[in-house]
Structure 1
Amino acid sequence: MKKLTGVLAALPLLLLPVPASAQAAAWTLRWSPDPADDTVAEAFEGIEDDRADSHPGVTHIKVSGDAYRFDMHTQDRDGDDRQRNETKGMRTGSSSYLKILQNQTWRISYQMYIPSTLDSTTSFSHIAQMKTPGSGAPLYTMSLPVSGGTQKINVRHWDEAAQTREVGSTDLAPIQGTWVDTTFEFKAADNGYLRWTLKSGSTTLVNKRLDGTDLWRGDDEYLRPKWGIYRSINSSGLQNTYLLIRNLRAEQLTS
C-alpha cells in the first residue's frame, strides 16, 4: 500500500505540461510561393532581370505554368564577361521578406528542371546561390562545372577568402530534361554545417553534409538565397536556354 501511494503521488507530475525549452525542435514552414497566385515580384525579395538592358523588351524571369522560369539568351549581358538573370530573397508581403539571421537553422527545398540546352561550362555557371545583401562571394553555390571532361552539377561552400570546398557532386546529363528534387539544410553560423540532397524520383543522387562550415561573416546583415542563371561567357558552346523551379519551400528549425 505504501508503494502504491508513492506511485499515485507521482502521477500529477506526469500530467504537468512540458516546458517549452524541453520540447523537441521542429521545422516550421516560413515561405512557400505558388506561381498560380504569386507573381515573380510577389514571390521574391528582388529581381535581377537583364540589369544592363542588353536585350530590350524581353522579360527573362516569369511564371510559366506551375513554375518560375529563367530564360537566358546568348546576347544577354550583366557586365562585359558574364550573364545574370536571377531572383533573390523570399518575399512574404508587399513590404516584408524573410531574413536568415545568425545561428538560425534553415531548410530550403524545391524542384528544378534543367533542359538539355543548359549545359555545364568550363568557366563559372551558377544556378543557385546563398548570399548577403551586399557584394562579395557567396556562402554556397549550386553550379554546373565541367570536371575531367564530364558535365557535372555540384554544390560548393565558399569561405571568407573565397576559397571553396565541395559538398557533393554528380553527373549532369542523366538529370537533364527531367524534374529533380533538391534541398539545402544549413546553420548560418561561424561554425555551421551545410547539407545538400539531390533526388531523381525515388533515387537519391547526392546526400552529403559538410560540417565546420563558415556560413556567417562578421559584417553580414542577413542571408538570402538566389535562383536563376549566372554564368561566364568565357565558355564555348553557350546556347539560348532556361531553368524552371517550382514547389519552393523555406522552413526554419524552431523550438
Structure 2
Amino acid sequence: MEIIGVNQNLTFSRFYIWIVLILIGNPFSSKAQITLNADGPGNTYELINSVLAPGYNVVEDPECVHSAFGRHIAEVFDTELNKNVFEFYIHVTPDNDRCINFDRQRVEIKTYESSPDNLKGTLGETVTYKWRFKIPAGFQPSANFTHIHQVKAVGGDDDDPIFTLTLRKGTPNKLELNYVKESSLSTNKYKNVDMSLFEGIWMEAIETIKIATSGTYSITIKRVDNGVTVLSYSNPNISTIRLGVGGVDNSFIRPKWGIYRSLLNDASLRDDSIRFSDFSISEGTLATDDFTSNIEDVVLFPNPVVDNLKLPEEIMQEYDSIHIFNTNGELIVSQKIVSRNLDLSHLSSGLYFVSFLKNSIETKAIKMLKK
C-alpha cells in the first residue's frame, strides 16, 4: 500500500512514519442504532412494536385481568421535556404478572427472540443502551424489588437478569445496580443511591456492555436539567453473558424497561407510574466510541505490517497491553507490551484494528493492514 505524496525514503525522527492513522470512532459498518420516541396519543403499542420487533408483540402488560383500565402504557405530553413521552402505569389491584404470577406484577417493553438481529446483543458485540426516565415524587417501591430496567440473557441460564436497576423501599428508599453472574449465585449489589436525589426529576441513563465472559460494563445516570451524575459504575473485567452454564450457552442478551415489582408486601405500595423517553439501542462488533480513554494520532511502523510491528516509544511509556481485533470484532491478540517489536507473522493478510490498554482501560481503535 502506498500513500500518494509520501516519500517512502523520508525518515521522521520521531516515529519513522509510513502512514498516520487517524483515531476513529466506529470502525465497523455493522454498527446499527435504533431509537424509540413517543409521537402522540394513540397506537402506542403499535409504535413500540414497530421499532423493537416489527410484526410481533414486545409489550408485557396486566390487561388480561385489568382490561377496564385500558392500555397500561400511554403517550402523554411532558412540559419539562416539551414533547410527548411514554408513561407506564401499574395498579396494586388487580394488576399481576400477565395472569402468570400473582405474587408480582409488571408492565414492561423489551427486545426478544423475534426482534431484528441488530437488537440482540451477541458474543463479541458492544451494545449501548440509552434512555430517559422520571420517577414521580413520592413513588413507593417494594421492599423486595421494583425493577425499572433489566438486561436479561436468552437461552441456557436465563432465569435471573444479569444486570438490574431496581428501586427498593428502605430508610431512605434506594436505587440499586445489581448483578448476577449465574442464576445459582447470589446477587452482587454494585451501587446504590438515595431515591430522593432524583425523584420528580428527568434522568438520562447510558449503559455500555461489551459482551464476553471477560467483558466490560459501564453505566452513568445523570440529571437532564443540569448534567449532575447521581450514579456511575464501570467494570473492565466482568462476565456479561453466561456461557457453558448447565451445558447450554446464552444465545444473546436483551434489555427491558418498565415497572416489575413484588406484591409480597403490597400494603406498602400504591398505584404508580413512571415516565420514559428517548430509548436508543446501538450495537456493533466493536463500538470504540464507548471506550473511556483517548489517545492522540498514533503512528504504527511499518504499516502495512509484514511480520513485525514496531511500537512508538510513547506507546511503550503510556500503555501496558495491546489488543488486536479482526473485522468481525473478535479479539485475536491480547498481550502485555514488553518490547517495541511485536511479532505478527502468524496473522493472515487483511485489515485489523489495534487498541492499547493501561490498567485495563482501553483506548479507541486504529486501523492496521497486514500483508
Structure 2 length normalisation: TM-score? 0.59
Look up the equivalent residue of 1:47 and give its one-letter code: V
Aligned pair count?
Answer: 243
CA distance 1:9–1:123, shift in 2 (3 Å): closer
From the superposition, tell whether residues 168 and 224 of structure 1 become closer, same or farther in structure 2 (CA, over 3 Å).
same
Relative contact order (alpha carbons < 8 A, sep ≥ 6): 1 or 2 greater?
Answer: 1
> Aligned ranges for residues 1-255 of structure 1 at < 5 Å?
8-10=7-9, 24-26=24-26, 28=31, 30-36=33-39, 39-45=47-53, 46-50=58-62, 53-57=64-68, 58-65=70-77, 66-75=84-93, 76-78=95-97, 79-89=101-111, 98-133=119-154, 135-147=158-170, 149-160=171-182, 161-200=184-223, 201-218=226-243, 219-235=249-265, 236-252=267-283, 253=287
Unmatched tracts of structure 1, length 5 or more: 1-6
8 Å contact 1:132–1:220 — kept in the other structure?
yes
Give the partner amino acid of 1:41.
Answer: N
- Residue 204 of structure 1 aligns with an amino acid whose one-letter code is T
Contact 1:199 1:205 in 2 (8 A): yes
Range moving further from structure 2, 126-135 or 151-160: 126-135
Deviations 1:30-72 (A, max 9, x none): 1112222881222333110116x12123210233332222110
SS across alignment from 1:136: coil
Contact 1:137 1:162 in 2 (8 A): no
Q: For the residues of structure 2 that align with 1:86 and 1:240, how far apart are their CA atoms?
A: 16
Larger Rg: 2
Residue type of the alignment partner of 2:67: P
Query: 1:17: how far off?
Result: 8.6
Deviation at 1:227, TM superposition (A): 0.4
Q: 3-state DSSP class of the match of 1:190?
A: coil
Q: Distance in 1 between matches of 2:260 and 2:273?
A: 11
Whether the aligned pair in 1 keeps the contact of 2:142 and 2:263 (CA below 8 Å) is: no
The offset of 1:231, in angstroms, is 0.4
Corresponding position of 1:4: none
Contact kept? 2:119, 2:281, Cα under 8 Å: no
Separation (CA, whole Å) in 1 of partners of 2:23 and 2:235: 27
Give yes or no for contact 1:39–1:63 (8 Å, CA) kept in 2. Answer: no
Q: Which amino acid aligns with 2:282?
A: E
1:43–1:92 contact (8 Å) kept in structure 2? no
Output one character per residue of 1:68-126: Cα deviation in whole Å (capped at 9) or x when no partner.
Answer: 22110111111120001111118998x77611101211221111011124323211110
Decide whether the 8 Å contact of 1:81 with 1:232 is kept in 2: yes
Name stretches of at least 5 consecutive residues in structure 2 with no aligned partner. 1-5, 11-15, 41-45, 78-83, 244-248, 289-352, 354-371
Distance in 1 between the 2:36 and 2:241 partners? 26
Note closer, same or farther for the CA distance 1:59–1:162 as it changes in structure 2 (3 Å cut): farther
SS in 1 for 2:197: helix
Q: Percent identity?
A: 23
8 Å Cα contact 1:156-1:164 kept in structure 2? yes
Matched residue, 1:3: none
1:216 match: secondary structure: coil
Aligned CA-pair RMSD: 3.0
Kindly state the Cα deviation for residue 15 of structure 1 after the two structures are TM-superposed. 8.3
Distance 2:9 2:86 in 1: 57
Contact (CA 8 Å) 1:31, 1:90: kept in 2 or not?
A: no
C-alpha deviation, 1:190, in angstroms: 0.9
Q: Name the structure where strand makes up a greater proportion of residues.
A: 1
